[in-house]
């Protein structure tokens, strides 16, 4: 059986990726399960979807803990433990990362045994309010790595699964998926099916006795990480919203109210983005009436900040020398 997990962020087409891959595997003669898994968070939050495919009936259910292929559509997730991208990897697992970094860089950073491949990340952002929509691209690359899906079967799956989005969207996603399929040609078929897992090997979790405390003690206080201001959700961001204050009309009740993470504060009628907690969902850019918020790829924004800091350091040294 093939067990595939696809990780990304809400809004990047991760659910669609599993649907396309599942549909293509079905057309290739497999029994298939595909499903997304996400919580209450919205765009920009880590999510994953998964696909099981086998020639025999599939009796497994639920999250995949022992994947044969893990696709990471957004490499910033690799630094977010809660995203679970590295869960259950072993020497048999193939990891495909959509990234500007090299495979060697990620191999050293992650210290993983299995094979790690790179799907080169694009740079374009066509819509100022959109996250990079790369579900079809990931599905195309994964289809090639499995080695059991032909190009025309992949195209057929995209045509079917995306039909309701209109011909332009279908054409664009088909083109991206087939390009990613072709880009992985040298590694075609590198993912091997995992062994069957016998239900008789299943060890149920042990019963946990919960102590009964007085309400004064046991009343909920949020202590867990992931629920605190201390969690820098800004680390999730791949696109950075940047306010052009020359065009901002100071209608701050629009962007500050509709930011799902309350990451836009207002000082003197001026909206200010808290980049420690802005997760880059780009809702603010979509709702800003005069289009005063633009998206900048996070890695470019960080490069810009680093060179600015270095320049300021050089200027300060020059001044001190004088
Ligand atoms: S919605 Fe746009 S124009 Fe209005 S305050 Fe926010 S950034 Fe400025
Ligand atoms: S500031 Fe904008 S991009 Fe950041 S979390 Fe709020 S709505 Fe999303």
Residue-by-residue DSSP string for 116-167:
EEEEE------STT-----HHHHHHHHHHHHS---HHHHHHHHHHHTGGG-H
Find the mean pLDDT for residues 13-17. 92
At 303 the pLDDT is 87
Residue 215 falls inside a structural domain? no
**Per mean pLDDT, which of 96-105, 148-157, 272-281 is the most reliable?**
148-157
pTM of this prediction?
A: 0.70
With contact defined as beta carbons under 8 Å apart, do 238 and 78 qualify? no
Instruction: Print burial letters for 178-203: b (CB count within 10 Å at least 16), e (below 16).
Output: bebbebbeebbebbeebeeeeeeeee
Per-residue pLDDT at 273 exceeds 80: yes
Is residue 201 situated within a structural domain? no
For ligand 2, is residue 297 a contact (CB within 6 Å)? no
What are the tokens at 314?
């050089």
Taking only Cα atoms into account, the Rg of the chain, rounded to an integer number of angstroms, comes to 22
Q: How far is the CA of 264 from the centre of ligand 1 (A)?
A: 10
Range 302-320 average pLDDT: 76
Q: Encoding tokens for residue 5?
A: 């997990």
For the record, the structure tokens of 178 come out as: 């087939």
Q: Is residue 223 part of a domain?
A: no
Look at residue 82 and tell me if it is in a domain: yes
Name the pLDDT band for 225 (thresholds 50, 70, 90).
Answer: low
Asked if residues 281 and 258 have their Cβ atoms less than 8 Å apart, the reply is no
CATH number of domain containing 248: 3.30.70.20
Decide if pLDDT at 128 tops 50: no
pLDDT bucket at 196, cuts 50 / 70 / 90: confident
Question: Is 219 inside any structural domain?
Answer: no
pLDDT for residue 219 is more than 70: no
Is the confidence at residue 65, as pLDDT, over 50? Answer: yes
**Which of these three, 145, 176, 195, is where a domain ends?**
195
CA distance 322 to 319: 5
- SS3 at position 20: helix
Query: What is the predicted pLDDT for the residue at 226?
Result: 57
Are both 183 and 246 inside the same structural domain?
no
Please report, rounded to a whole number, the percentage of residues in the chain having pLDDT higher than 90: 52
Residue nearest atom 6 of ligand 2, based on CA coordinates: 259
Q: How sure is the predictor about 96, in pLDDT bands with cuts at 50, 70 and 90?
A: very high
Asked if residue 68 and residue 118 are part of one domain, the reply reads: yes
Identify the pLDDT of residue 41. Answer: 60
Residues 44 and 180 in one domain: yes
Q: How far apart are CA 78 and CA 159, in angstroms?
A: 31
Output 130 or 209, whichever has higher pLDDT. Answer: 209
Task: Please check whether residues 174 and 52 belong to one and the same domain.
Answer: yes
Q: What is the pLDDT of residue 258?
A: 93
**Does residue 174 lie in a domain region?**
yes
- Ligand 2 closest atom vs CA 281: 8
Domain boundary among 195, 210, 243: 195
The candidate with the shortest Cα–Cα distance to 102, out of 116, 122, 118, 81, is 118
Most confident of 36-45, 92-101, 193-202: 92-101
pLDDT at residue 123 above 60?
A: no
Q: Which of 283, 292, 295 to mutate to test the pocket of ligand 1 (most atoms within 8 A of CB)?
A: 292
Q: Rounded to an integer, what distance in angstroms lies between the CA atom of residue 284 and that of residue 173?
A: 26
87 in the Ramachandran plot: left (φ > 0), alpha (ψ -120 to 50) or beta? beta
Closest CA to 86 of 105, 65, 100, 117: 65
Max avg pLDDT among 8-12, 65-69, 277-281? 65-69
Mutational pocket test of ligand 2: of 278, 287, 296, the residue with most ligand atoms within 8 Å of the beta carbon: 278
Measured CA to CA in angstroms, residue 67 lies from 112, 194, 322 at distances of: 14, 8, 61
**Amino acid 15: pLDDT:** 92
Mutation test residue for ligand 2: of 129, 248, 263, 301, the one with most atoms within 8 Å of CB:
263
Residue 184 and residue 306 in one domain:
no
> Does residue 249 share a domain with residue 150?
no
- Is residue 313 packed enough to be buried (19+ CB in 10 Å), middle (13-18) or exposed (0-12)? exposed
Compute the distance from residue 42 Cα to the ligand 1 centre, in Å: 21
User: Mean of the per-residue pLDDT values for the chain?
Assistant: 87
With a cut of 60, say whether residue 224 has pLDDT above it: no
In this structure, are residues 160 and 170 in contact, taking their beta carbons and an 8 Å threshold?
no
| 300 within some domain | yes
Residues spanned by the domain of 278: 233-321
Residue 89 is part of a domain; what is its CATH number? 3.40.920.10
In angstroms, how far is CA 170 from the centroid of its own chain? 21
Q: Do residues 180 and 265 both lie within one domain?
A: no
* pLDDT for residue 80: 80
* Ligand 1, CB within 6 Å, residue ranges: 243, 248-252, 254-255, 271, 288, 290, 292-293
pLDDT level of residue 6 (50, 70, 90 thresholds): very high
Q: Is the CB of 288 under 6 A from ligand 2?
A: no
Q: How many domains does the chain have?
A: 2
Counting ligands in written order, which one lies closest to the CA of residue 243? 1
The two counts, helices (H) then strands (E), for the chain are 9, 10
pLDDT over threshold 80, residue 43: no
How many other CB atoms are there within 10 angstroms of residue 37's CB atom? 16
165 shares a domain with 312? no
Q: Where does 165-214 have alpha helices with state H?
A: 167-183
Query: Which protein residue has the closest C-alpha to ligand 1 atom 8?
Result: 248
Same domain, 78 and 185: yes
User: 97 in a domain, yes or no?
Assistant: yes
Confidence of residue 171 (pLDDT cuts 50, 70, 90): very high
Mean pLDDT of 98-114: 86
pLDDT of residue 33 exceeding 60: yes
């Amino acid at each position: 059986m093939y067990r595939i997990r696809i990780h990304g962020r809400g809004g990047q087409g991760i659910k669609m990726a599993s649907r396309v891959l599942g549909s293509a595997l079905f057309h290739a003669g497999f029994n298939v399960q595909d499903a997304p898994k996400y919580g209450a968070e919205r765009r920009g939050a880590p999510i994953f979807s998964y696909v099981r495919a086998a020639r025999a009936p599939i009796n497994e259910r639920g999250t995949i803990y022992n994947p044969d292929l893990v696709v990471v559509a957004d490499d910033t997730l690799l630094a977010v433990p809660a995203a679970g991208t590295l869960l259950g990897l072993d020497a048999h697992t193939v990891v495909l990362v959509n990234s500007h970094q090299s495979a060697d860089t990620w191999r050293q950073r992650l210290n993983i045994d299995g094979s790690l491949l790179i799907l080169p990340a694009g740079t374009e952002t066509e819509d100022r309010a959109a996250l990079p929509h790369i579900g079809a691209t990931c599905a195309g690359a994964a289809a090639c790595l499995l080695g059991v899906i032909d190009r025309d079967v992949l195209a057929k799956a995209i045509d079917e699964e995306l039909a309701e989005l209109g011909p332009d969207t279908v054409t664009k996603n088909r083109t991206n998926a087939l390009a990613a399929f072709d880009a992985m040609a040298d590694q075609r078929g590198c993912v091997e099916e995992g062994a069957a897992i016998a239900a008789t090997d299943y060890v149920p979790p042990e019963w946990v006795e919960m102590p009964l405390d007085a309400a004064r003690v046991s009343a909920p206080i949020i202590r867990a990480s992931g629920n605190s201001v201390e969690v820098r959700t800004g680390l999730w961001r791949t696109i950075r919203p940047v306010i052009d204050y020359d065009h901002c009309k100071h209608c701050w009740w629009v962007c500050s109210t509709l930011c799902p993470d309350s990451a836009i504060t207002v000082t003197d009628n001026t909206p200010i983005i808290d980049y420690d907690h802005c997760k880059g969902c780009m809702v603010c850019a979509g709702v800003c009436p005069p289009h005063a918020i633009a998206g900048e790829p996070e890695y470019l924004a960080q490069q810009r900040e680093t060179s600015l800091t270095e320049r300021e350091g050089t200027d300060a040294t020059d001044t001190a020398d004088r």
